[in-house]
Structure 1
Amino acid sequence: MYDLLVVGAGPYGLSIASHAADAGLDVRVFGRPMASWRDHMPRGMFLKSEPWASNLSDPRRRYGLAAYCERGGMRARHGEPISVETFASYGLWFARHAVPDVDERMVASVGACRGGFEVVTDDGQAVRGRTVALAVGVMPFVEIPSALHGLAAEHVSHSSHHRDLDRFRDRDVTVIGGGQAALETAALLAEQGTRVRVLARSRRLSWNSVPPAWKRPWWESARAPHSGLGCGWRNWFYAEVPGGFRRLPEATRARVSASALGPAGAWWVRDRVESRVEVLLDHEVVTASVAAGRVRLATVRNASGGPDFDTDHVIAATGFKATSARLGLLAPDVRGSLEVNAADEPYATVEFESSYPGLFLAGLVTASSFGPAMRFVHGASFTARRLVRGVRRSLRRGPLDAHDRQAPSGNLASRELDQVMPSANG
């Protein structure tokens, strides 16, 4: 039986595995490394995060993005976006050098067994571990507006469903959303000859400004410090002190995690959108139907009747919603025992353990506990350090019987009190 089974081999899963192996744990990782970045982002996209904020995490800090780029004769400089292809290749390099061998099979289910958990792979093999870390990325949490639910896959897709956009050449596509995914997808479509429009509920688009120079006068840095989530003290707190964010009142955490760092386009995509893409603001799709092989979208504008649009395909660039109900690989008894907030987002302790003892959470699903940093690669380092510490504590605690594992809210609270509270950055 392994000490730790890591489900997912993206930035969070690989970082957790690297820290766990360095801590002497017997760890096994499942998943195709960097699958979301390799399979679900079109060619030509770039990371919105700064290169220095896009490192996967190994305990000795030998395998950062800059080190990979330097070895390949590339640059990783502040203010210069890194392509998705480069980042995915970096993640594969990290997996080869900083992580135990990755089992590239996908996990079909995670359930409890005597002394721990049983993970069943997609080919039916069962592997057991004392603890499990779910680092499943964003793909289980795809959010498509309810007005589009009745459309078949040939007529609607999520922006994360496309490795390339070639099949939309010379067609008409409507992109729903006003954030980076919507705007960059629309720009790529327009540049390949697709007739494309963007529908956004907001009354104006938000654009991130060009980041200030890395080296600045001290008074400028003091007023708006750099952070892994952008400049400013608020962003610095979200990026650099997620442990402190965890101590905020639950209502505050929920509000901030839902609203902070809202939809915005990167500075380097703005000209590409404004010069080539039709953008219709303050529009919301209320119904969608198919006639003669095309999609008819009925919209409202300013809460009143809006125009209808006929289009060949709708791409919903409408983000992700990390609810416990969408953790479908968890056995029903495990998933049903998770403590959640009002939005059905699972709680996590200060060491990323869920209310189900021995089951740890990582990535987007922990944003309501640890803040906006968990939506970005930048949060992987904090998560890996803190989570592995929690795994080691869980292993010392030993296996729990069925009654203890199913205990409701008091069980989570008692484990919070039992943990030694680390520093906010620890």
Structure 2
Amino acid sequence: MYDLLVVGAGPYGLSIASHAAAAGLAVRVFGRPMESWRDHMPRGMFLKSEPWASNLSDPEGRWRLDVFCAFRGMTTRHAEPIPLEVFAEYGLWFARNAVPGLDERNVLRVTPRTGGFEVVTEDRETLTARTVALAVGVLPFTEVPAALHGLPPALVSHSSDHAGLDRFRDRDVTVIGGGQAALETAALLAEQGTRVRVLARADRLRWDDVPPPWERPWWRSAHCPHSGLGPGWRNWFYAERPGLYRRLPERTRTRIAACALGPAGAWWVRERVERRVEVLLGREVVTAREVPDGLRLETVGRRGGAGVLETEHVIAATGFRAGLDRLRPLCPELRALLATGTDGAPEVGLEFESSYPGLFLAGLVTAAGFGPAMRFVHGATFTAGTLVRGVRRRLRSGPAGWRIPAGRRGGLPEAVRR
């Protein structure tokens, strides 16, 4: 029986597994490593987060992004975005060096059993564990406007459905949304010759400012500090103090998680959109139906007034919504036992343990509890260390036959694996 099984091999799952292995736990992590980044983001994209805020987490900080880039003969610099492909390669390098027990099979079902959990893999192997950490990323939580439901994938897709955009070359595409995914997708489409427009509910697009220099007078840093979520004291609190954020009243936490760091484009994509991509603001799709050449969209303006638009394909870059009903690896009986907050997401305690003992949650699904940082790679560091402490506490409080090693650090390689 394993001490911990981690379901999901993205930045959060890999970081949790690294901390668990260093703590001497018998751990195994399941999933295709960095799947979202490798298979669900178009080539040519860049990370919106700063390079120094995009590290996966191991306890000793040995396997950072800047170390990987130096090993590859590259240099990371503040305010210079990292290509998506580089970050995906970094995640695989981290997995090889910091995560023993990686298994690329998917998990079909997690079921409670006496003394822990039973986990069934895609090829029907059954394993048991005293604790489970669910770190499934964002893919289970894709959100598409209701007006587009029921239409075939050939006409409607989510922005996370695409590893490449070549099939839209010389076609007409409408991208719905006003955030980074929508704007960067539209920029890439325009640059390859696609006739593309952005349709957004907001009255104007929001753009992040160019970050202030890394080195600057102390009084400017005191006025507007850097943080893993951007400059400013509010962002610093979200990024660097999620444990304190967790102690805010639930209604306050839920409201902030829903509204903070809302849709906005990175400063470096702005010039690629303005004057190159048609932007239709203050409009929302109310109905959509298939026509011979694609889709006919009927829209309504925020200040009234209807419009009609015909397009060959719609890409919904409309984000993700975490909810208990989307945690498919959990068997229905286990989902029914979990307490939820006002936003419908499962509640977690101070160490990311759900209301069911031994089941831990990580990533986007915990944003209402620990704040906006849980929507970004930067949150993996706090999550991994805190969650593994919670796992160790749970193991200590388990049945008399349970025991955990005292900080053994076996299994981590000394040399970089190529």
Common fold, TM-score beyond 0.5?
yes
Name stretches of at least 5 consecutive residues in structure 1 with no aligned partner. Answer: 401-426
Deviation at 1:150, TM superposition (A): 2.3
TM-aligned CA deviation for residue 264 of structure 1: 0.2
- Aligned AA (2:290): V
Determine if the alignment matches structure 1 residue 391 to structure 2 residue 391. Answer: yes
Partner residue in 2 for 1:409? none
Give the aligned partner of residue 37 of structure 1.
Answer: 37
Deviation per CA, 1:193-241: give whole Å up to 9, x if none.
0000000000000000111100010110000000000000000000000
Contact 1:172-1:194 at 8 Å conserved across structures: yes
Secondary structure at 1:92's aligned position in 2? helix
What is the aligned partner in structure 2 of residue 267 from structure 1? 267
Residues 334-343 or 163-172, more deviating: 334-343
Whether contact under 8 Å (1:173, 1:313) holds in the other structure is yes
State how far apart, in whole Å, the 2-side matches of 1:296 and 1:106 are.
38
CA contact (8 A) 1:158 1:316 kept: yes
Q: Cα offset for 1:302? A: 2.5
Q: Is the 8 A contact 1:130 1:399 kept in 2?
A: no
Task: Verify: 1:14 aligned to 2:14, yes or no.
Answer: yes
Q: 2:224·2:233 contact (CA, 8 Å) conserved in 1?
A: yes
Residue number in structure 2 paired with 1:312: 312
Deviation per CA, 1:335-388, whole angstroms, max 9, x where unpaired? 011110122111100000000110000000000000000000000000000000
Deviation of the 1:83 alpha carbon: 0.6
**RMSD value, Cα:** 0.9
Distance 2:391 2:293 in 1: 53
SS across alignment from 1:352: coil
Q: Report the CA distance between 1:278 and its aligned residue.
A: 0.2
The answer as to whether partners of 2:201 and 2:302 remain within 8 angstroms in 1 is no
C-alpha separation in 2, matches of 1:75 and 1:309 = 45
Distance 1:17 1:343 in 2: 28
Tell me if the contact between 1:116 and 1:399 (Cα under 8 Å) persists in the aligned partners. no
Unaligned runs of 5+ in 2: 401-418
Match of residue 195 from structure 1 = 195
Residues 27, 101 of structure 2: 8 Å contact kept: no
Q: 1-side partners of 2:305 and 2:298: how far apart?
A: 9
Structure 2 equivalent of residue 236 of structure 1: 236
Higher relative contact order (CA 8 A, sep 6+): 2
How many corresponding residue pairs? Answer: 400
> Residue 339 of structure 2 aligns with which residue?
339
The match for 1:277 is 277
In the TM superposition, 1:108-187 aligns within 5 A as 108-187=108-187
Structure with a larger share of its residues in helix: 1
- The alignment's TM-score, normalised by the length of structure 1, stands at 0.93
| In 1, Cα distance between equivalents of 2:290 and 2:279 | 23
Q: How far does residue 304 in structure 1 lie from its aligned partner after superposition?
A: 1.9
2 CA distance for matches of 1:6 and 1:303? 48
In the alignment, what sits opposite 1:91?
91
C-alpha deviation, 1:399, in angstroms = 5.0
Quick check: 1:199–1:281 contact (8 Å CA) kept in 2? Answer: yes
Which residue is 2:406 aligned to? Answer: none
Change (3 A) 1:399 1:368: farther
Report % sequence identity: 70
Larger mean CA deviation between 301-310 and 253-262 belongs to: 301-310
Residue 228 of structure 1 aligns to a residue whose secondary structure is coil
- 1:294, CA displacement in angstroms? 1.1
Secondary structure at the counterpart of residue 346 of structure 2: coil
Moved more, 257-266 or 291-300: 291-300
Deviation at 1:303, TM superposition (A): 4.2
1:286 aligns with 2:286: yes
